[in-house]
Amino acid sequence: MNDQQDAPTGTVTTINAVNIARLAGVRRAAVSNWRKRYDDFPAQIAGTASSPLFDADEIRAWLDKYGKLAELPLADELWRELDGLRGTTDTVEVLITFAVALRHLFDHDCRLATELLTESFENDRALTEAVAARVSITVGELGLDLEPLAPEPDWAPLLRLLDRAAEEPSAFEELLVSTAERAEPRGAGVVPPELARLMAGLADRDEVFDPYCGLGELLLPTLDSGVAAGQHPNRQLLRLATARMLLHIRTPPRPAAGDALREDGFPGQTFGAVRCVPPWNVKDWGFEELQFDPRWEYGLPPRGAAELAWVQHALAHLDTSGVAVLGLPAGVCGQARGRRIRAELVRRGALRAVVALPGGAFPGTSASTVLWVLRSAEAEPPGGVLLLDGSRLLRAKSPDWGALRELVLPAWREFDGAGTWPEEPGVCRVVPAIDLLDEEVDLSPARHLAGSVQTDVAGIRTARENLLGLLRELPALVPEVLPEDAPARPHARIGELARTGAVTVLQQVPTGTREEDAAALTALTAQDVHAGRAPSGVLRGAADPVRLREGDVVLPMLGERLVSRVIESEEAVLGPHLWLLRPNPEQLDSWFLAGFLRNSANAALGAGSGTARLDVRKVELPRVPPEEQRRWSDTFRGLFRLEHGLHRVREQGGKWVDDMIDGLTGNGLRPPRDEERG
């Protein structure tokens, strides 16, 4: 017996039980129960008995009627609607069309809901035709070579989110980046935005070229009116990069598909800046067929040194006053096979600076990494190379990007202009070219800076006393607990508590402005929350920023480990990818809330769209009277204080151990003799 129902005719959008559960923020079993309990639950219109399909509009109306329609963040709604198109449409092409439509809204400062009559906006076919027309207009206006896919009526639920995405473009960009990472995991090729900004600061020009552009990370910091040109061998990734750049750069991007070493997409063209993180440790880069290529002005790159081929490719596309900056594995600085090319780069003044980066600068690799900063050999040579060692600039085992920028950018700008920069022992030094041109031509900053390190004996002693003081404080922070023998309490979801006014759930929503001079506000980031540190981020372009208040509770939306934080005195705004919960103090204690949010079981409460995002509205809290909450909050506060103390011990203790070892193995410290021990 066949229990298959025919699919509905017309443009009815269907939805299955799994996606109904996602809409409501519940498990699939709850949907089955609703079908049995409620006589007015929408009838099945297609599918099978075991996998029924329903009219999506009827389901939404029913959920809304009974207050079961979960209020999801825009990023989750975008994921959900895109999920519904998987299997029938190429989702990459959907994202590209969506991005072009979004660009139309930016350029014309308009919104679909106000441009279209209500009937047209609510009608699937009329809406898709209107979006298709606007996409076509934008492609023509910008001269894009993307050929976006024409939207179909079943895209309508996604297209109705265009106006919201125009107000919160970072949510769509997150979806675009995540889709690209799934399509082609890039490992070390992913460039964090902080590193992209640093590289842009080193090579700051209006015309920027990246010959291995990935998702355009190094092109995004380009000025709004600048030119961004990029090449990549993966056509699909390049299309997504182009779509991403449409959200950031007013001038149409200039993409070219193909392997830049074998198929240069911009032959003979030069740019004011080249920023690139080329593929590392690649053997098959074209050694055989490119031996007589005119780009090898500084020598034929060895078969196993593809990075030096990319360095010379970058120089070939650099105008005489331009700057190139490349992210490379540190081994390129000293490998024997690249010695002759390194010597020629130094001798002719093309290599201007080498920056040793801290561990974790490229999240996809544990290898040591560097930045090479280069200029055309036709530019006036400075007579030396600026070497900077930022490898120790870490905060809680992550790069201290602020400190790295303060070290690198002022030094580079002064050196680039005057050819000099004061030496800072162990940190930076201008090394004369003649001192580098030995048998090895090793350009590693540590090699030329290590000998000048002076041990700060007094500082190490002070740090030791501070560390001992921290360790003495920890025992008092360890709370006492007893076994719970009371029956389980009833629970309420955060979403329910928000509807009753017990708590307000907030996110930071940027306006999508692309102005570089937009007001910069100090922001608390997800990394700050994880590391237990003060706000270190910068937020631009928020028309109505969410400012932190005492008693707010924040937690990251993403991450394998749940971390929450109670705001006490931070003067900052909320950063992206963070939930902020503002409890009504008469009903809900902040520390009580923060403690229960940290329950590890909550990590499974994702948005249900294949992402690792936490949907905080699904988190359940026990119903506890306010006066009893404070007993729990005292214990939670103690645990958070203990955690903060452990963070400080780990951070300060780790640095002290490193300084001690450097002092003992270098100059300035020795172990005490037996008679000197206290």
CATH number, domain with residue 595:
3.90.220.20
Distance, in Å, from the CA atom of 170 to the CA atom of 508, rounded to the nearest integer, reads: 10
φ, ψ at 251 (rounded to 5°): -70, 135
Same domain flag for 125 and 162: yes
| Domain presence at residue 147 | yes
* Among candidate residues 330, 329, 331, 326, the one with its CA nearest the CA of residue 312: 326
- Looking at the predicted structure, is the pLDDT value of residue 187 above 80? no
Distance, in Å, from the CA atom of 418 to the CA atom of 668, rounded to the nearest integer, reads: 35
Same domain flag for 60 and 81: no
Q: Under 8 Å CB-to-CB from 298, ≥6 apart: which residues? A: 312, 315, 341, 344, 345, 348, 350
Same domain flag for 403 and 524: no
Paired with 232 in beta bridges are 257
- Looking at the predicted structure, is the pLDDT value of residue 478 above 90? no
Distance, in Å, from the CA atom of 158 to the CA atom of 162, rounded to the nearest integer, reads: 7
* Among candidate residues 586, 583, 611, the one with its CA nearest the CA of residue 597: 583
Confidence of residue 517 (pLDDT cuts 50, 70, 90): very low
Q: What is the length of the chain? A: 678
The string of pLDDT tens digits covering residues 337-353 is 999 999 999 999 999 99
The string of pLDDT tens digits covering residues 66-124 is 877 766 778 888 888 888 887 788 999 999 999 999 999 999 999 998 888 777 788 88
* Among candidate residues 111, 104, 94, the one with its CA nearest the CA of residue 163: 111
Distance, in Å, from the CA atom of 268 to the CA atom of 271, rounded to the nearest integer, reads: 10
Query: Which of residues 70, 92, 107 is at a domain's end?
Result: 70
pLDDT for residue 453 = 57
Element (H, E) at 247: none
CATH number, domain with residue 386:
3.40.50.150
Same domain flag for 55 and 101: no
Same domain flag for 284 and 396: yes
Least-confidence region, from 7-11, 257-261, 276-280: 7-11
Same domain flag for 57 and 81: no
Q: Is the pTM of this model over 0.75?
A: no
| Domain presence at residue 256 | no
* Rounded alpha-carbon distances, angstroms, from residue 527 to 383, 520, 642: 41, 18, 19
Distance, in Å, from the CA atom of 416 to the CA atom of 411, rounded to the nearest integer, reads: 8
**For tokens 């001269």, what's the residue?**
143
Paired with 281 in beta bridges are none
- Looking at the predicted structure, is the pLDDT value of residue 192 above 50? yes
| Domain presence at residue 650 | no
Domain range holding 136? 77-178
Confidence of residue 581 (pLDDT cuts 50, 70, 90): very high
The answer to whether the beta carbons of residues 369 and 330 sit under 8 Å apart is: yes
The answer to whether the beta carbons of residues 406 and 427 sit under 8 Å apart is: no
Same domain flag for 48 and 169: no
Q: Strand 227-232 and strand 207-210: pairing?
A: parallel
pLDDT for residue 3 = 54
* Rounded alpha-carbon distances, angstroms, from residue 585 to 32, 449, 627: 38, 55, 11
Tokens representing 381 are 């040579």
Spell out the long-range contacts of 599-606 with Cβ–Cβ below 8 A and sequence spacing 24 or more: 599/562, 600/562, 602/562, 603/560, 603/561, 603/562
* Among candidate residues 412, 501, 459, 435, the one with its CA nearest the CA of residue 669: 459
Task: For residue 519, give the amino acid letter.
Answer: A
Confidence of residue 609 (pLDDT cuts 50, 70, 90): very low
Same domain flag for 43 and 82: no
Helix then strand then coil, % of the chain, to nearest 5 = 40, 15, 40
The conformation of residue 223, written as its DSSP 8-state character, comes to -
Same domain flag for 426 and 506: no
Count structural domains, the chain: 4
- The segment with the largest mean pLDDT, out of 10-14, 132-136, 558-562, is 132-136
Same domain flag for 376 and 273: yes
Distance, in Å, from the CA atom of 472 to the CA atom of 637, rounded to the nearest integer, reads: 19
* Among candidate residues 323, 378, 92, the one with its CA nearest the CA of residue 206: 323
Confidence of residue 515 (pLDDT cuts 50, 70, 90): very low
| Domain presence at residue 458 | no
Q: Quick count: other Cβ atoms within 10 Å of Cβ 474?
A: 14
Q: Quick count: other Cβ atoms within 10 Å of Cβ 155?
A: 25
Distance, in Å, from the CA atom of 655 to the CA atom of 633, rounded to the nearest integer, reads: 33
Confidence of residue 29 (pLDDT cuts 50, 70, 90): confident
The answer to whether the beta carbons of residues 325 and 434 sit under 8 Å apart is: no
The conformation of residue 148, written as its DSSP 8-state character, comes to P
pLDDT for residue 564 = 92
Distance, in Å, from the CA atom of 423 to the CA atom of 414, rounded to the nearest integer, reads: 13
The answer to whether the beta carbons of residues 238 and 257 sit under 8 Å apart is: yes
* Among candidate residues 509, 539, 540, the one with its CA nearest the CA of residue 524: 539
- The segment with the largest mean pLDDT, out of 24-33, 305-314, 556-565, is 305-314
Mean pLDDT within 465-469: 91
The secondary structure of 279-300, three-state, reads: CCCCCCCCCCCCCCCCCCCCCC
| Domain presence at residue 466 | no
Q: What is the largest CA-CA distance in the chain?
A: 94
| Domain presence at residue 460 | no
Element (H, E) at 553: strand 553-556
Paired with 394 in beta bridges are 399
Confidence of residue 305 (pLDDT cuts 50, 70, 90): very high
Confidence of residue 611 (pLDDT cuts 50, 70, 90): very low
End-to-end CA distance of the chain: give it in Å, rounded.
Answer: 89
Same domain flag for 430 and 538: no
Q: What SS3 class is residue 406? A: helix
The string of pLDDT tens digits covering residues 641-653 is 998 889 888 888 8
**For tokens 């034929």, what's the residue?**
300
The answer to whether the beta carbons of residues 546 and 574 sit under 8 Å apart is: yes
Same domain flag for 215 and 355: yes
pLDDT for residue 188 = 54
pLDDT for residue 385 = 97
| Domain presence at residue 7 | no
| Domain presence at residue 639 | no
